[in-house]
Structure 1
């Protein structure tokens, strides 16, 4: 009986730690492509025994109400995220870049875009109010005794809810409202830290630095408007008038950054910033039979794949025809993810699909080139699998993402305005296909990406569990989070020292002046 008893005790000891380490995580995701990142992370957390609860709106675009690895809380709301709005903006951008949209119309659309972004955040604010005003739901959440809030701070809902429940907060982050996350938390010298949208590298000319500073202030004004009109009123109502949203939004315990310095330019950072760029990359899985057959039929020439992301459902008809005609001139086979009208010029070497397993294709040795819009997920996957890129950026951070690859010799960028001119698209494809340096440079980036002490996903999971084990990570937070701007930049100290120096310089002058007046004063004769 004793050996059986020992085995039972040993088995119990092995099981207890895994039970004790499991946590209860409340998640406030951002809809759209941001959810793709979050979903991958949640799947791994679930596999490690953690309980996941996702709060979503009733008309969520990407976040579904049923899942095998998490429970969902659906909050009934009137408005939500913006598929039609994004599609309309992209079409206007494409038309403007190609000269088909007048400047006045584009400016009007741009102004409307900023106001619509504020409306999106107002819809997020309505989600927060609907959640906090639901007494039964709030009682259920409080009784669940969560250990942690995990959120993407591109929207402010998770920040407010973490503060309301007084829970440790972890960010899955690249953007905080509309600014790149480093600018919200770390020293960010504008002389070599380019603002997203500037189209600059970390080596800027004088006028590029001027542009960089102007864009910085535009983004600050935009964020100030969103915070003042949307999130600060919510803080005042639910957290108290002394709660400053500007302060609590940078008070997360751990910032899991969806980037790394293989991709981004070197810059200052902070102790509670953890880099997990490429955490979503996985080994390729076998392709569906029809795709595998098509890829293998390419012979020695290989395959080109093209995808412009989830937001771009179609292109102007003449542009799609131009791209299809260019592909038809190549010896390579082409797989093109496109949901628009089938181009009339589509060649026999091109397979058009509504959706393709991008990561699995990029991992196939037959893939020679990736024609991409420059989304962060796709760019990192291309780096992981060492596939060079021809970029067709359209909006937001896409040009800046591709620029980082082009600067490292692993990509070539074309604007939509130049695709149809002088066979530029064909020349770019042939250059990247035939010049070995592009693939060699991408292979070097891939080696750098993979040469890490821990896999990015393991790093992310470790720090999430670290925060749960220690009920936060206050020892990693700099006091700068709590400082007003004039103290952070030592404006008060500079003014004090300036006043002290001026006083030291003026005091002797004033003393000598008074002394001279006293000595040189004429004597008055007394009667």
Structure 2
């Protein structure tokens, strides 16, 4: 009996040592709603499973972020206006303008509408966050809670201002910031081979394309300095002693959990506090519901095409939906199409319309041959993870740039709305179905993505817990954020060197002139 008890005690001790350490941190979360929340929630599920205490700051008009959850407690801020209706109108206008065709006027209309929508969203979030600073009991509650860090998505940067006010370490769940892609505010970004978001360029640019790249950088700088920056400058000056600057707050963040990787993105310079977690939300496929599995298996040797344009697009224009349905009806494949609008009149018997689909489980099914998608980051990364080629119909934001990266690697094709027709859609589908190189290329990307010493999710959790254990990661933060722009680019040094060179050249010129004049005077004296 004693021997059995001894073995049991030894076994229990081994389990104790094998269990991963859990610091049980106290984490304040300031997320962004919509598809960004889907990403954040996946991280919160893992943090909760590891014993961390989580508090989420949400808006009263939130789309997806529930007030009550087994994962977290919440602090609800009153928001004067829901952005959802405004955003829905913006999407419809974007689709309408794109369908009119590519032109200079449509380009400026699209960018004007985009900047107006983004500015409006930032104003709403700043107004909602004022409730925290002006509520003394809430301020005391947050101070008394002694949070270890704030985990925030800097696409809306009010969370950074809160971190500054409460003097908390910052971990960013990030790809986008207030003025575009996050790398451009933290890491060196030579415009000769790093494409600016929205430019539609790759890392191989000729002279005209590099000129275009600089133009698009100008749009990003205009967005930060003229449209968005002043909103936060006013916000900071009112609530932060001495004021603050959003760009500097971004550069001071302890860890950037960056939702990308270099299987997907073009190679570029980075920084030591940037941790790449692209595809962290991807998981192996689970069995489909019985009715869906039956439909998929009925496709036989031809397989299945799946189509979804994301959570934000409820319905395409009727004529576009009818053309898509007509093309699908001609295909020997079965089709599963997430579509919330009226059913197209040309819908074929091979097409199943659904309000929702288990996207990752379908992408991981061996019968799925092609993924028709809008090019959102989540969908593209899941397609890479499961090795399914993508026919992309980009609608707005980063979607064209995401799909371009797949197209450049031979793993997908793009059809822009301005070029969309039944013919181009059918040709695109046939190319991906019958040219095996697309599937081979994306399966190669899938193998590269999975061949890592640590999963992206484990990386994310490790670095969050690292910040908790060490109360920040200041040793990984560059001092560049303290430097004025002219010092960062060494313009002051270049000007000094240029001045020294000019003085030196002028001195040489003056000496030669003096010697020449002296010689002329001597010659003239001798002649006289």
TM-score (structure 1 length as normaliser): 0.93
Q: Which residue of the partner structure matches residue 238 of structure 1? A: 239
The whole-number CA distance in structure 1 between the counterparts of 2:355 and 2:22 is 45
Match for residue 192 of structure 2? 191
Instruction: Kindly indicate whether the alpha-carbon contact (under 8 Å) linking 2:22 and 2:50 is maintained by their aligned counterparts in 1.
Output: no
Q: 1:155 & 1:12 partners in 2: Cα distance?
A: 46
2:526 aligned residue: none
Higher deviation after alignment, 253-262 or 111-120: 111-120
Q: Could you tell me which residue of structure 2 aligns to residue 477 of structure 1?
A: 477
Tell me, in whole angstroms, the C-alpha distance in 2 between the residues paired with 1:110 and 1:181.
Answer: 19
Of 16, 27, 47, the residue aligned with 2:49 is: 47
Distance 1:56 1:268 in 2: 34
SS at match of 1:249: helix
Q: CA deviation at 1:79?
A: 2.6
Unaligned runs of 5+ in 1: 522-527
After the TM superposition, which of the residue ranges 159-168 and 107-116 deviates more from structure 2?
A: 107-116
Following superposition of structure 1 onto structure 2, how do residues 433-452 of structure 1 map, counting pairs within 5 Å? 433-452=433-452
Query: For 2:43 and 2:125, how far apart are their aligned partners in 1?
Result: 22
Superposed structure 1 runs of 4+ greater than 4 Å apart: 1-13, 15-20, 100-110, 511-521
Partner Cα separation in structure 2 for residue 16 and residue 166 of structure 1: 35
Counterpart in the other structure of 2:289: 288
* 2:101 and 2:419 in contact (8 A); partners too: no
In structure 2, what is the Cα distance between the partners aligned to 1:322 and 1:278? 33
Partners of 1:386 and 1:446 within 8 A in 2: yes
1:210-289 alignment, distance < 5 Å: 210-289=211-290
Q: Which runs of 5+ in 2 are unaligned?
A: 523-528
- The answer for the alignment partner of 1:498 in structure 2 is 498
Q: 1: distance between equivalents of 2:228 and 2:483? A: 18
Shift of 1:117: 1.7
3-state SS, counterpart of residue 306 of structure 1: strand
Cα gap change, 1:15/1:27 in structure 2, threshold over 3 Å: closer, same or farther? farther
Q: CA offset at residue 95 of structure 1?
A: 2.1
CA contact (8 A) 2:236 2:245 kept: yes
SS at match of 2:449: helix
Distance 2:134 2:13 in 1: 46
CA contact (8 A) 1:313 1:340 kept: yes
**How big is the shift at 1:343?**
0.4
Residues 318, 475 of structure 1: alpha-carbon distance in 2 compared, 3 angstrom cutoff: same
CA distance in 2, matches of 1:147, 1:171: 14
- Displacement, 1:498? 1.0
C-alpha deviation, 1:241, in angstroms = 2.7
Larger CA deviation: 118-127 vs 377-386: 118-127
Question: Who is 1:462 aligned against?
Answer: 462
Deviates more, 1:263-272 or 1:13-22: 13-22
Conserved 8 A contact 1:83-1:311: no
State how 1:117-516 maps to structure 2 within 5 Å.
117-420=118-421, 423-511=423-511
| SS of equivalent to 1:312 | coil
- Cα distance in 2 for partners of 1:97, 1:505 equals 57
Work out whether residues 125 and 157 of structure 1, in 8 Å CA contact, stay in contact via their aligned partners in 2.
yes
Question: Cα–Cα, structure 1 residues 17 and 321, in superposed 2: closer, same or farther, change >3 Å?
Answer: closer
Q: CA offset at residue 104 of structure 1?
A: 6.2
Contact 2:171 2:253 in 1 (8 A): yes
Aligned to 1:77: 79
1:58 maps to what in 2?
60
Distance 1:517 1:328 in 2: 93
SS in structure 2 of the partner of residue 417 of structure 1: helix
- CA distance in 1 between counterparts of 2:134 and 2:329 reads 58
Aligned length: 521
Looking at structure 2, the residues matched to 123 and 151 of structure 1 have their Cα atoms a distance apart, in angstroms, of 17
1:29 to 28, 31, 35: 31
1:525 — aligned with what?
A: none
Deviation for aligned residue 1:208: 1.2
Measured in 2, the distance between the counterparts of 1:481 and 1:457 equals 29
Residues 1:20 and 1:259: Cα distance change in structure 2 (over 3 Å): closer
CA distance in 2, matches of 1:12, 1:453: 24
For residues 492 and 105 of structure 1, do their structure 2 counterparts lie closer, same or farther at Cα, with a shift above 3 Å needed?
A: closer
C-alpha offsets along residues 42-63 of structure 1, whole Å, 9 cap, x if unaligned?
1001111111110001111221
Quote how far apart the aligned CAs of 1:87 are: 2.1
3-state DSSP of counterpart to 1:123: helix
Quote the residue 1:524 is aligned against. none
Q: Contact 1:227–1:246 at 8 Å: present in 2 too?
A: no
